[in-house]
Structure 1
Amino acid sequence: MSQRAFGKLLGVSATAVQLWERGDTVPDTENLAKLAARSGYTLEEFLRLLDGKPVSDPLDIQQIVTKIKFLPLTQVAAIVRAGVERLAAAAEVSGD
């Protein structure tokens, strides 16, 4: 995704995105929260990732669904393929 498109998605300029990428500036809290949400994380989880600390795996289905909503479509497609393969294998075993 281009800096311009990403900036538009977050409501900031392409220049702001460029400065963040180069490490010249840091997004404010509001933009960090937007970045976290677009990445499928809470702000707290996102800050832990930025600090190089591990983030716990989601434990309930709602957390997983929330994360999936913000994944790139290529990753969602991989998840769907895995689900279809699992369902097909289960149907084969059960004889359906």
Structure 2
Amino acid sequence: MNEGFFAKLAVAVQEARGKLSQREFAEVLGVSQSTVQQWENGKNVPSLENLEKIARIKGMLVEAFVAYLYGRTGGLTSKDITDRVEVMPSRDFAQMLRVMADRMDTAKDAPPIMERRGKASANAQPKGKGEGESVPLELPERVEMDEEMKGEA
């Protein structure tokens, strides 16, 4: 591993740690304070399990996080994500959409996406007036399981 890897790892661990002390962060991860210190000083590398925990804290997939540490730009491409979504079970896809909608609703820096929530029909249409205008789509509060999804449950 090169110096760039350890430098990026140190920064990533410090960012994930945020305002927590090394000891507090270590408790969250289930490791010792000296282990966190070694990661931040470039003396040791987290196990795959701990890399995954750090990636999740940073809001990244472990694959993208490791690619970042190794200096590979881009991480997952749009095609990679699309390919994964296409084979995702319906129940997981519905859950992902709920999480994304909730995150977009609460994001401080995101423009308002949904004017109101309510039941959406299968032929839900965007609401808007003119071309080129931002048109929020009403999404259901909770996605009901269709027959295919009920079979997977």
Fold shared per TM-score above 0.5: yes
CA distance in 1, matches of 2:109, 2:63: 30
Q: TM-score, normalised by structure 2?
A: 0.41
- Listed as ranges, the gaps of 5+ residues in structure 1 are 70-76
Greater than 4 Å deviation, 4+ residue runs: 57-61
Q: CA deviation at 1:8?
A: 1.1
Q: CA deviation at 1:81?
A: 4.4
- Listed as ranges, the gaps of 5+ residues in structure 2 are 1-18, 86-92, 116-132, 134-153
**Following superposition of structure 1 onto structure 2, how do residues 52-91 of structure 1 map, counting pairs within 5 Å?**
52-54=71-73, 55-56=75-76, 62=96, 65=99, 79-84=107-112
**Following superposition of structure 1 onto structure 2, how do residues 36-51 of structure 1 map, counting pairs within 5 Å?**
36-51=55-70
CA RMSD of aligned residues (A): 3.4
The structure with the greater share of residues assigned to helix is 1
Larger Rg: 2
Q: TM-score, normalised by structure 1?
A: 0.61
**Deviation string, structure 1 residues 26-67 (Cα, Å, up to 9, x no partner):** 01111111111111111111100101122247768938x47x
Secondary structure of 1:4 counterpart: helix
Q: CA deviation at 1:83?
A: 3.4
Identity of aligned residues (%): 35
